[in-house]
Amino acid sequence: MATYVHQHEDASKGLVVGYDTRFASQRAAEIISEVLAGAGIAVRLSDDYTPTPALSYAVKNLGAAGGVMITSSHNPFNWNGVKYKADYGGSGTPAIMRSIEGELDSPRLERRGGSVTLTDFKTPYIAAIKNLVDLKEIQEAGFKFAIDVMYGAGRGVLKGIFTESGIDHVEIRGELNPLFPGINPEPIAPHIAMLQETVVRERCQAGMATDGDADRLGAVAEDGTFVDAHKCFAVILEWILKRKQWPGEIVRAFNTTRLLDRIAAKYGRKLHECSIGFKYICDLMLERDILIGGEESGGIGIPRHLPERDGILNSLLLANIMADEGKPLGQLVRDLQQEYGEHHYGRTDLHLSSEVKDDAMRRAQDKPGRMGSFGVLKIETLDGVKFFLDAPTYGNGAEAWVLIRASGTEPLLRVYCEAASPELVGQILKETEAFVRAGDLQLVDSTSDAGGRTA
């Protein structure tokens, strides 16, 4: 990264470094800062656990050449990783990442003039996101919110904003525990079970969960049901188009709901579909006038703030939307389903041997005419293999599709599905899993949590 910055950026602007609550994240950030400083770069190192969007905001706000974030985001406790943020305050583009990867075998760069300075990144970030919502309106609405930071780097941030603004709330799993006991810090079922119980017990009108580095969002309705990222994205998009009327186009990843397409069409906005991974969304945000972009895993970004995912800002936006509409979160989702049709989503994660995974992808790429009991109407291969199925749409509901894709970050094969009812989603996922496993090859390990992930 130091070599890349010296070759392609203005190294005199320095770099910022942040870290999450994972085991050894702080020490890794310190070591990385020392290496960067040893390469002659002025480094500002976070003085506390930092949400990834706060680190990204620091890049943009301080005019740094880039940023480095130590985190493994939503992954299990035994993983950690490094994210690079470019000078615009967002994920490094695919071209930037290829350039950095090209330096992996280069000798360590050593130059004079570097330094490391501890810096508060959270305070300026909090001030910035508070300016994007109406906290007084949220307070006056009288709703109560549950906040689940999942032992992650978002700890205390929403809680502090709500406390200062007099907004009724309760925070759970805000203590430091790098083992993330009992969960992966990913805001989906089954990991949000405690948040669901809290919302019902505390009689909250919504619950918001952020992942390990607080750039992703999941939510819970007032009755304890899970509100997946697709529906959060749709609620935010519809409100921005209807109430804010901000200009710009929309971008979504290949594995996200087509409910977004219907909303965009109603308001006459162009919608782009891109490969899976926020870096591809960010690419479009830098090239075009994008209003909002998002992905299946809970990452939603608004470029007028940052070309970056931000689970904390999106939690505030959901609270603002509830206050503005005078409705709890579940009612907002029901209103969308009534106007645009029933859209339900599910995902199955399959831990498979490489042989089984490769065999399944090969057979999917052979374009079979059926997927289980459903005929295949068409196939798209932008990222993985997506089958559009001859399945009931129940009036104006979602057209059914299923996507088979090998994970780019974990040893998994994922199956994604959208259809017009939860039951239909479950059936398609089950039959697609049978297709994946049909190679009669030895499994090393397999797990499936489709039931918990169907909302």
The residue to which tokens 């339900």 are assigned: 344
pLDDT for 454 beyond 90: no
Can you give 331-378 as a three-state secondary structure string? HHHHHHHHHHCCCEEEEEEECCCHHHHHHHHHHHHCCCCEECCEEEEE
Residue pLDDT, tens place only, 416-432: 999 999 999 999 999 99
Residue pLDDT, tens place only, 340-349: 999 999 999 9
Residue pLDDT, tens place only, 287-326: 999 999 999 988 999 999 999 999 999 999 999 999 999 9
Percent pLDDT > 70 in the chain is 96
**What is the value of pTM for the model shown?**
0.92
Percent pLDDT > 90 in the chain is 90
Question: Using CA atoms, how far apart are residues 310 and 315, in angstroms rounded to an integer?
Answer: 9
Range of lowest pLDDT (212-216, 314-318, 361-365, 445-449):
445-449
Residue pLDDT, tens place only, 26-47: 999 999 999 999 999 999 999 9
- Residue 281: partners with Cβ closer than 8 Å, 6 or more residues away: 251, 252, 253, 274, 293, 294, 295, 299, 301
Residue pLDDT, tens place only, 388-410: 999 988 878 899 999 999 886 66
Question: Using CA atoms, how far apart are residues 396 and 415, in angstroms rounded to an integer?
Answer: 24
pLDDT at 102: 96
pLDDT for 327 beyond 80: yes
Residue pLDDT, tens place only, 155-211: 999 999 999 999 999 999 999 999 999 999 999 989 999 999 999 999 999 999 999
Say if CB 265 and CB 288 are below 8 A apart: no
The residue to which tokens 């945000």 are assigned: 285
Please work out, in degrees rounded to the nearest 5, the angle formed at the alpha carbon of residue 70 by the alpha carbons of 154 and 286.
85
| pLDDT tier for residue 412 given thresholds of 50, 70 and 90 | confident
pLDDT at 452: 38
Q: Go through the domains of the chain in sequence order and give each one's CATH number.
A: 2-121 (3.40.120.10), 126-227 (3.40.120.10), 241-310+327-340 (3.40.120.10), 344-453 (3.30.310.50)
pLDDT for 225 beyond 50: yes
Pairing between strand 290-294 and 249-253? parallel
pLDDT for 445 beyond 80: no
pLDDT at 409: 67
